A and B are shown apart, each in its own frame.
Chain A
Amino acid sequence: MIELRQLTKRYGDFTAVNAIDLTVPRGELFGFLGPNGAGKTTTLRLIAGILQPTSGSVRIGGTDLHADPRTAKAKLGFIPDRPFIYEKLTGSEFLRFVAGLYGQDGPQVEHRGRELLALFDLDEWRDELVESYSHGMRQKLIIASAFIHRPEVIVVDEPHVGLDPKSMKILRELFREYVNRGHTIMMSTHTLEVAEAMCDRIGIIAGGVIAACGTMQDLRAGAAEGGSLEQIFLRMTGENAARELVDVLNV
């Protein structure tokens, strides 16, 4: 479970995240949407414990991230938007290293690593240096690494970038199975169809505040004119700008 209370992050005069209150319960896949620069990545990095909030709190699985960061982080798997993998490590060495960071090794981890690599069609590449991996393969390796230590909560920033259709399908199934087992995922994405199809609830962030939050039905009900997620999203986050863009293109 993820709980955000009055979470705020300021950079000088600029407020990236403004007093967000949000609870993502166990067994839920929460989609986090918003235009570029709305504060999505900052929020996710605050939850991952990479950034220090200006004020407010983050609780992961009931543990306060500020008060007991190690216990909270041990429950979390984080997949960043611009993932870094040591270029000169092989895929399996990298997984072993990440498992070690979470205090895990031994035959279970080895077996799990092989299965995760195989799940994403990386098994044949497990002993190749990461520098020879394509962008999509790196993304799959990073996703695999987030699952290696069996976290309670996964926070993932734009997981679909660079994935082929088969991997996208596997990822969807993996995420669904994961939340069905009572775990929690908070995922940011720009692909509205993916959010609509995958997420139990969706939050739309604009200008550092949550402009709307709920199931698709809630969002439709909340938006007077109803419509698809794309239409709701545009209405919440700058329909006018989109219309102006269309006008410019028509000219």
Chain B
Amino acid sequence: MSEGLRPSQLDVRPESVLTPARGIPLDPAMAAALPDPSLLHLVSPKILTARARAASKERGAGARIGVLVTFGALFWAFIFGVLYRLLTYFRGVEEIGPFLAGKLLGLVLLSFVSILLLSNVITALSGFFLAKDLDMLVAAPLDWLKLYGAKLLETVVASSWMVVLMAVPMFAAYGLAYDGGLFFPVLTVLLFVPFLVIPAVVGSGTTLLLVNIFPARRTRDILSVIAVLAAGGVVVLFRLLRPEKLARPEGFRSLLDFVAVLRTPTSPLLPSEWLQKGVMGFLTDTLDVLPIYLLWTTGAAAVVLGALVHRRLYFTGFTKAQEGAQKWAKAGAFGTFGRTVLRPFGVLRRELLLKELRLFFRDSTQWSQLILLGVLVVVYVFNIKFLPLTGEGVTFFLRNIVPFLNLVLAGFVLASIAARFLFPGVSLEGRTLWLLRSSPMEMRALLWAKFWVGTAPLLLLAIGIVAVTDWLLQVTPFMFFVSVGTITLMTFALAGLAVGFGTLFPQFETENAAQIPTSFGGLLYMMTAVGVIGGVVILEARPVYLWLQARAFGGTAEPGDLVFGFVAAAALCIAATVVPIRVALARLERVER
């Protein structure tokens, strides 16, 4: 706003601000015409917000960027390395090499389409119907098409950036392995843009229809459950298809069968197939313009159709979106049962625990993730079951060392779950902290309530995973007790760390619980958790090795050697449980909100 003006030059009487400033010409065209701000103007707050975020000097911003860049570079290098190796191998296989490469690309792009569809449906719901700036935008005299364009652009960017990041090393590997040349990146961008737009239009159109049928907040509940079920379904389907068998032609009856499978298009009507054909056509010198044509015409037609549907249904949907969510919740049976079971904890702890449970189970975005979790556990156990740990060449040593290493994987899974569910606990209290702080309750009770409500299901899951995989692998009773005992203590440690770090690095202003684990504190938590998991496994490695050696080759292990490692690992876990919560308690008592 007029940088050159000094405050003394400003007339700050109420009557003067209602009068056009003298000496500054009025634009008559502007006064006469109907306002028509550009698309760029409508998205400018998002651009300015991104710029302000990038320039902000909040605590740990540098470290966070450093960690993200490092992890990102490692991730890219890993994807690129694996794919490049595979593709150079495919390139060396005559006849079927390009088919294999195309099939692989088609599978990956198909999974991209599923991810994009889901994420666009959910992003469109917040962007088009629940975003806080909508009141202002809808009340403004905007052209409906501009509003649609701006929100569609926001949706595309918000739901596609992750897919784009994953696609970069993948296309780089294809381009380099097949000598794509300098034009390859241009062609890829040309093909990839409509590939991203089509699911965005379909996703936002689906959301528009759903919101017109259900109220928006109910739609969000329904969508979060559908999304999670669909994501779980995709994972299970992918595992059941076992794409790795394509790399083992000996599983097919004849080579002809195998080639026939490779030649058959996976999904000829989906944009993933067109993109795959366009890319592979260019790379194998058989460029066909039909896929490019199909992608762009379908993309353009989708945008036009989407805009027409938007014009017809948006305002009705937006009005419906203002309607309240669920007005009441059934309290009866759950409340009575909870009160009875939790009676020994006393009134305060009981009510705290019940509040935590109610908030969790009444928020479908929270509990629905349990479904996804269940699916992942099934896939995890399924993969363990199919590990080639029976038959010739598999030793007693190997069969018992796998469940031990399984602790590391299970630890990572538990740490990620704790980061998602336990770490945000205190941050989510931000807006109600005044209530808790002004009551005579001790903050200790709050932290421990959060700890136990999170730890109990985590412990069930942890013991479930480890016990089932131990049983599938038929480990010795010693290894069974070691692994179950270790995972129990490790669960306490990971939960304690999550509650502790979540309190030390709170995000009181964030409304979206899903964003909290990606904060700087969340990253620190994950790194510390990995450190503790590593520490426990290293401390236990020696006693486990000594015992297995004694069992495999005869002899006995020294009890002293065994005890030290296990006791040290247990001490580490107990310290990691108690110390963070104590430190966090001191921090929470100093919070002034």
Q: Footprint of B on A, CB under 8 Å?
A: 11-12, 45, 48-52, 69-74, 76, 78, 80, 84, 86-89, 92-93, 95-98, 100-108, 110-119, 123-124, 126, 129, 147, 150, 170, 173-174, 176-178, 181
Contacts and interface: CB of A to CB of B under 8 A. Distances in A.
B492 to A, nearest CB: 37
B559 interface: no
Contact of B53 (A88, A117, A124): A88
B127 to A, nearest CB: 14
A95 B323 CA distance: 29
A97 B2 CA distance: 14
A113 B3 CA distance: 11
A74 B34 contact: yes
Nearest to A123: B7
Contacts of B12: 115, 118-119
B34 A48 contact: no
Contacts of B439: none
A95 B1 contact: yes
Contacts of B240: none
Given A51-B319, A52-B316, A104 B30 contact: yes
Contacts of A70: 34-35, 141-143
Secondary structure of the A side of the interface?
A: helix
B48 interface: yes
Nearest to B317: A52
Interface string B1-33: 110010100111111111011001111001001
Contacts of A98: 136, 140
Contacts of A150: 18
Contacts of A51: 319, 322
Given A78-B139, A103-B35, A108-B24, A118 B7 contact: yes
Contacts of A74: 34-35, 141
A100 B41 contact: yes
Contact of A88 (B15, B17, B49): B49
Interface residues on B, range: 35 or more
Contacts of A95: 1
Contacts of B14: 119, 170, 173-174, 176-177
Contacts of A123: 7, 10
Contacts of B15: 173, 177
B315 interface: yes
A104 B49 contact: no
Interface in B144-168: none
A11 B323 contact: yes
Given A50-B139, A97-B45, 7 more contacts: A11-B324, A45-B322, A71-B34, A97-B44, A101-B37, A103-B30, A147-B17
Interface string B322-353: 11100000000000000000000000000000
B290 interface: no
A150 B27 CA distance: 14
Q: Which of B5, B16, B132, B319 has the most CB of A within 10 A?
A: B319
Contact of B16 (A11, A115, A178): A115
Given A69-B141, A86-B49, A93-B48, A112 B17 contact: yes
B387 interface: no
